[in-house]
Amino acid sequence: RTIDDLEALTEAAKNSKVGAVVGGGLLGLEAAKAVKDLGLETHVIEFAPRQMAVQVDDGGSAILRSKIEALGVQVHTGKNTTEIVDGESAFHRMNFADGGHLETDLVLFSAGIRPQDTLARACGLELGERGGIVINNQCQTSDPAIYAIGECALWNGRIFGLVAPGYQMAGVAAAHLAGKSAQFTGADMSTKLKLMGVDVASIGDAHGNVEGSRSYVYSDEVAEVYKKVVVDESGDKLLGAVLVGDAKEYGTLLQYMLNEIQLPEHPDDLILPQRDGGAAVGLGPDMLPETAMICSCHDVTKGDIVTAIDDGATDIGALKSCTKASTGCGGCAALLKSLLDSELDKRGLEVNTDICEHFAYTRQDLYGLVRVGQLKTFAELLEKHGTGTGCELCKPAIGSILASCWNDYVLQKSLVGLQDTNDRYLANMQKDGTYSVVPRVPGGEITPDKLIVLGQVAKEFDLYTKITGGQRVDLFGARMDQLPAIWSKLIDAGFETGHAYGKSLRTVKSCVGSTWCRYGVDDSAGLAVELEHRYKGLRSPHKIKFGVSGCTRECAEAQSKDIGIIATEKGWNLYVCGNGGMRPRHGDLFATDLDKATLIEYIDRVLMFYVSSADKLQRTSVWMENLEGGLDYLRSVVIDDRLGINAELEQQMGLVIDSYACEWKAAVEDPESLKRFRHFVNSDKGDSNVVFVREREQIRPALEEEKPVTESA
């Protein structure tokens, strides 16, 4: 599948009412979901007697079919398409070998994978009869100097269509290149996935093909759940499993099979509702050997996880970051959490989530105390719920919480002492002690007159000028005592603070959208300006960035932002919790084809839920990785109001919006605040240690050897 394929499908769907997908396997059902989402009457045509014939058996397929058809997709199995001709009531007519037919406007083929071996064919390498580059156990092709791995490689007549075997092949090839002994001996093709909202998992010998194997089956047609385990003749070892409708046992069953762990006395206890209402039969992480594969997507073993914990990775986010476990399909998330808890317990470690020694609470706890208690100052919170006088950990965190809740002026007497260096002076301190000035440019849209003002101010104060990645202009080299004068001129010209110094909304990046671009399908610039004005006063656990793109070409890079929005023919697609920084994370597709009112409603709720539940200094990307239940849980909270708090979240966002005031405008109008902006308490002089030299026609901080030598007295 390519981007061109998806664009062609989208274009074809515009003039279609009925769509048919040929192939009822994994990719076919994914394609059917896409066709259904495009608003077409959808049919799946499968040659085999059941869909997903490789992964599930007849019983599992029946449950899967029932669930899929309940979603409005019609499934046709045992259908051999003999020809496709012009239709009568639709563009095409599919004729079947059994005499039946189907009228459809669109036909999408998804009938198996085909190795991309064009380059190998041109090079004269040995290929399989049906394609694929033939490799040996070292992943070498017929030319020993050339290796092939992944879906293009044919090993012992088999193509592996999953990512995990590709990683294994890569490891073997790398080891062989390094002169080490390693062989590829095949790969486990077990998989867990969600097809059209239905949990499906397949492990090992799912069909009981091994001689002497026996099966235990649990089928609940009312709840539409099907589970089967396949054991060896002795009943001691697990050979395979099928799970449809509920796949929570996948991690446990996979470990039983991969590590050949002795099964319990009653193997069916692994999938049956408990006989006596007791706890489910599980497989504790302590029972796993060090070599047990925890994450097959990234080839991460139990030993790798234990080593990472020993090295200081004591939470899920840290483990994901350093090992990549649970960052692929996510099927190992529960086992990873269980292993982490077990290892911490064995070490006698309890990860202390208190914000500091003065408050025996997490940030989330403190946020709730401030909200419920209507507490407006650090002193009130400390008196009611803390001890001591506070510290450099709790003060900025609580200052952020108070700002998120009540949005009061941060330089007022009761709050200024809680602020970090940048917030205390409403500017970002640079390496030489000077500050940068970043006015807000909503959506990156700026008038020529305002651009001229920025140039005039930069010239008057001799500031280094740089365009930022967030479509703003950054002015560097301002002394502390110059900040009020600079901002007075900017405010007079209609600028506001850009909050570049705060843990708050920074920018809403946008393209020009349908207003100017011939590819644009909606007004992304207009929406970006509206959103930036709406959320510009929001203080949060960490900085927040938006992106709004007017089409799928994605010029605003929305999918790498905390909140990303992309225009579609039917509305707006919303992405959440992306990050383009030190540890990039692709945003998760949260909802599709939203009208503007619903889009803003969802963003309000997502942001306020993040503000209320994240840890201190936690970006949305890390928050999502640590959020129990992940994206599905967030959807249930925001869309389905699972916690019954949506009205409250919207009210809280409304308070932030209604109470917004430009902090720099307040500062230049307040004589007490202006007293802060000088280097010396008893003098208005500037800092003589600040020295600039010129480079590329602008100033920059002087190096030590470039500063003038001063004579000592």
pLDDT at 461: 96
Strands 544-549 and 505-510: parallel
Question: Superfamily assignment of 3-109 in CATH?
Answer: FAD/NAD(P)-binding domain (3.50.50.60)
- Residues 17-36 have pLDDT tens digits of 999 999 988 888 889 989 99
Report the CATH fold assignment for 505-658.
Sulfite Reductase Hemoprotein; domain 1 (3.30.413)
- Rounded to whole angstroms, how far apart are CA atoms 122 and 146? 14
pLDDT at 335: 79
- Residues 348-392 have pLDDT tens digits of 877 667 888 899 999 999 999 999 999 999 999 999 999 999 888
pLDDT over 80 at 247, yes or no: yes
- Rounded to whole angstroms, how far apart are CA atoms 10 and 32? 13
- Residues 520-538 have pLDDT tens digits of 999 999 999 999 999 998 9
When pLDDT is averaged across residues 551-579 and rounded to a whole number, the result is 96
pLDDT at 274: 56
Residues facing residue 574 across a β-bridge? 565, 591
pLDDT at 283: 63
pLDDT at 123: 94
pLDDT over 60 at 292, yes or no: yes
352 vs 696, which has greater pLDDT?
Answer: 696
pLDDT at 326: 83
Is 101 within 8 Å of 95 (Cβ atoms)?
yes
pLDDT at 280: 47
- Rounded to whole angstroms, how far apart are CA atoms 161 and 30? 15
pLDDT over 60 at 210, yes or no: yes
- Rounded to whole angstroms, how far apart are CA atoms 61 and 72? 17
- Residues 251-262 have pLDDT tens digits of 889 889 988 888
When pLDDT is averaged across residues 554-578 and rounded to a whole number, the result is 96
pLDDT over 70 at 61, yes or no: yes
- Residues 448-488 have pLDDT tens digits of 999 999 999 999 999 999 999 999 999 999 999 999 999 99
pLDDT at 187: 86
Hey, do 118-177 and 505-658 end up sharing a CATH topology, with the first three levels equal?
Answer: no
Report the CATH fold assignment for 407-497+663-713.
Alpha-Beta Plaits (3.30.70)
pLDDT at 278: 41
pLDDT at 327: 81
Provide, rounded to the nearest whole percent, the portion of the chain with pLDDT above 90: 67
Give the pLDDT band (50/70/90) at residue 276: very low
Terminal Cα distance for the chain, rounded: 76
Is 48 within 8 Å of 215 (Cβ atoms)?
no
When pLDDT is averaged across residues 442-448 and rounded to a whole number, the result is 96
Domain residue ranges of the chain, discontinuous segments joined by + = 3-109, 118-177, 407-497+663-713, 505-658
pLDDT over 80 at 435, yes or no: yes
The residues, ordered by sequence, that sit 6+ positions from 37 with a Cβ below 8 Å of its Cβ are: 592
Strands 191-195 and 198-204: antiparallel
pLDDT over 90 at 78, yes or no: yes
- Residues 314-345 have pLDDT tens digits of 888 788 889 988 887 666 776 787 788 888 88
What is the overall mean pLDDT for the chain?
90
Q: Which of 46, 71, 72 is closest to 61 using CA atoms?
A: 46
Give the pLDDT band (50/70/90) at residue 218: very high
When pLDDT is averaged across residues 60-89 and rounded to a whole number, the result is 93
Most confident stretch, 111-125, 162-176, 502-516: 502-516
pLDDT at 279: 40
Question: Superfamily assignment of 118-177 in CATH?
Answer: FAD/NAD(P)-binding domain (3.50.50.60)
Considering the entire predicted model, what is its pTM? 0.60
pLDDT over 90 at 598, yes or no: yes
pLDDT over 60 at 670, yes or no: yes
